[in-house]
Amino acid sequence: MIKLNRRQLMIFSLFSTGGIIAQKLLSNKNNNLSWAKSTPAVYKSKNGLLEVELIAQEIPVNIGGKTAYLLTYNGQIPAPRLEAKAGDKVKIKFTNKLNNSTNLHYHGLHISPNNNADNVFLEIKPNQTFNYELNIPENHHSMMGWYHPHLHGYTAQQLSGGLAGLFIIRGKLDEIPAIKSAKEKFIVLQDFSFDNNGRLTDSRMMSLMMGREGDVITVNGEINPQISLNQGEWLRLRILNASTSRFYNLSLDNNPFYLIATDGGAIASPQEMTRLLLTPGQRAEIMITGENKQSSLKLINLPYNRGGMGMMGNGMMGGGMMGRRNNNPSQILATINLNQSNQNNQSVSLPNQLNSITALPPPSQVRSFTLNHGMANGMAFLINGKSYNHQRIDTEVKLNTVEEWELINTGMMDHPFHIHVNSFQVISRNDIPENLLAWRDTVLVKRGERVKIRIRFNDFTGKTVYHCHILDHEDLGMMGNLQINT
Ligand SMILES: [Cu+2]
């Protein structure tokens, strides 16, 4: 039996109350028992404008043949996919039909953090409608962003209920012949935890500490969906980890694939690999060739140990109180069926050059951010020893300058660090230079690791945030306010 100190007990009872709120939210019976569609709608911009209405609402959804009461945008798991281009205007009429306040964050998009744009300080109350208006800059990368709730204290609960959708910016990468002619498939990874009645289960304290993981893993709201691929055809898999805490350690059963893009868009040239680790919030695009001897390829999630608190990290108590297993078995996420045809289809080869990325110059300012979980103060999640405070500005930076941030994880769990509005480049890990030049907005900082990143603050002044993308950690304080000044 684990003994809890006073503060830990306080936090525990706080979470129990949170659980009651969650139960109340879920007991709000929806009389409309039609299940949400498994294929999400797609809304694309026309003549420079995308206008869409989104309603956040609890609704019964069919997950693997069972009814689950999930939190959805427009009744869909995952939410509708939005597609725009650089230079477009996006108008979102958002209505909150949840029982708690919420808001929308446009993860990975380089847009204003102010007013009715990517403003995470907004609170949209139940039954309130809010009009978002986003201006996508002319020079925006073609990339894969996504949208989800970001109201501090509610983020993990709402995201783990299902609220997540893709926000694609189309552009140059989509026009490269091998990529344009490839079969494009989006993969939104989500995990859910619900009881026999299909009600989302309450996450108890210890699983919140580790970050909640659901035992039902879905790909676009389905369990092990089948994807068909013709011989000679390329498959472009565009993958988002929309889970609250779960890492995906992806393999194609040891078959090679080619990484072509990370969070912020195309990398310089395709990278052959056999493993891809995606933390919550991260995206990656991979190309898979239909030139294969097997009749099917399996997309597999391999075990990954992201640490734990004290003795729990080494597996002694891994399962029970932590609400997760460190030795979780591999799981098939999706199956790619290869259609052997007699036609001798010639596949278009991937080009060596996908994008030109210039390394950011040496910084004008260097800072360090220490991430840990403050056992001394009880169970808080801290950046530079501080728990998040709405009122406090933690970091002030200057527009149009380059900074180098050293992210130091002195805790016992891995933390994926995310910065809003501007993407960055990873420079080194434990002083070993990073050899992949890529635009990212979320980077894994493993326990005991020091990761250096460089970031330039472009185009937008205003107040925004950086935080751990294990969203339970964010809700428990692992976030800071970033002020960008002229
Ligand atoms: Cu974390």
Residues 187 and 163 in one domain: no
Mean pLDDT for the chain overall: 87
pLDDT value of residue 344: 59
Give 20-77 pLDDT, tens digit per residue.
222 223 333 333 334 444 566 999 999 999 999 999 999 999 998 999 999 999 999 9
Does the structure show a pLDDT above 60 at 364?
yes
Spell out where 12-163 has E strands.
Answer: 42-44, 49-63, 66-73, 81-85, 89-96, 105-107, 129-135, 143-148
CA of 147 to the centre of ligand 1 (A): 20
Is residue 9 assigned to a domain? no
Is 393 found in the same domain as 307?
Answer: no
How far does residue 417's CA lie from ligand 1's centre (Å)? 8
pLDDT band at residue 343 using 50, 70 and 90 as cut-offs: low
> To 5 degrees, how large is the angle CA 471–CA 473–CA 474?
60
CA distances from 135 to 45, 111, 187, 439, 441 (A): 12, 7, 26, 21, 19
Tell whether 167 and 191 lie within a shared domain: no
Pick the more confident residue, 1 or 392.
Answer: 392
Distance from C-alpha of 165 to C-alpha of 469, rounded to nearest angstrom? 16
Q: Which amino acid type is present at position 365?
A: Q
Angle at 277 between CA 404 and CA 120, to 5 degrees: 55
| Amino acid identity at 223 | I
Q: Are 213 and 207 in contact (CB under 8 A)?
A: yes
The predicted model gives 156-167 an average pLDDT of 97
Query: What pTM value is reported for the model?
Result: 0.89
Ligand 1: centre distance to CA 469 (Å): 6
Tell me, yes or no, whether 403 and 379 share the same domain.
Answer: yes
What residues are paired with 289 via a beta bridge? 234
Instruction: State the distance from the centre of ligand 1 to the C-alpha of 3, rounded, in angstroms.
Output: 23
**Residue 74 C-alpha to ligand 1 middle, in angstroms?**
30
Q: How many CA atoms lie within 13 A of 50 on its CB side?
A: 26
- Going from the Cα of 241 to the center of ligand 1, the distance in angstroms, rounded, reads 15
Q: Is residue 5 pLDDT above 80, yes or no? A: no
> Any idea which residue has 């959805």 for tokens?
72
Residue 317 pLDDT > 60: no
pLDDT mean over 119-123: 98
Distance 466 CA to ligand 1 centre (A): 12
Name the band, by pLDDT with cuts 50, 70 and 90, for residue 291. Answer: confident
Local structure of 310: helix, strand or coil: helix
Last residue of a domain, one of 172, 199, 226: 172
Distance 416 CA to ligand 1 centre (A): 6
Q: How confident is the model at residue 375 (pLDDT cuts 50, 70, 90)?
A: low
Mean pLDDT of 403-411: 97
263-272 burial code (b ≥16 CB/10 A, e <16): bbbbbeebee
- Residue 231 confidence (pLDDT): 85
C-alpha 475/C-alpha 381 separation (Å) is 9
CATH of residue 255: 2.60.40.420
- CB of 318 within 8 A of CB of 455? no
Is residue 209 over pLDDT 90? Answer: no
How is residue 277 written in tokens? 């680790």
Report how far ligand 1's centroid is from the alpha carbon of 339 (Å): 42
pLDDT (0 to 100) of residue 153 = 92
Answer yes or no: do 148 and 33 share one domain. yes
pLDDT band at 316; cut points 50, 70, 90:
very low
Residues 373 and 333 placed together within one structural domain of the fold: no
> Model confidence over 239-251: pLDDT tens digits?
999 999 999 999 9
Mean pLDDT of 255-261: 97
Query: Coil, helix or strand for 195?
Result: coil
Domain with 198 in it? 178-339
* Mean pLDDT value of segment 93-102: 98
Q: Is residue 352 part of a domain?
A: no
Contact 112/118 with Cβ under 8 angstroms? yes
Contact 45, 90 (CB under 8 A): yes
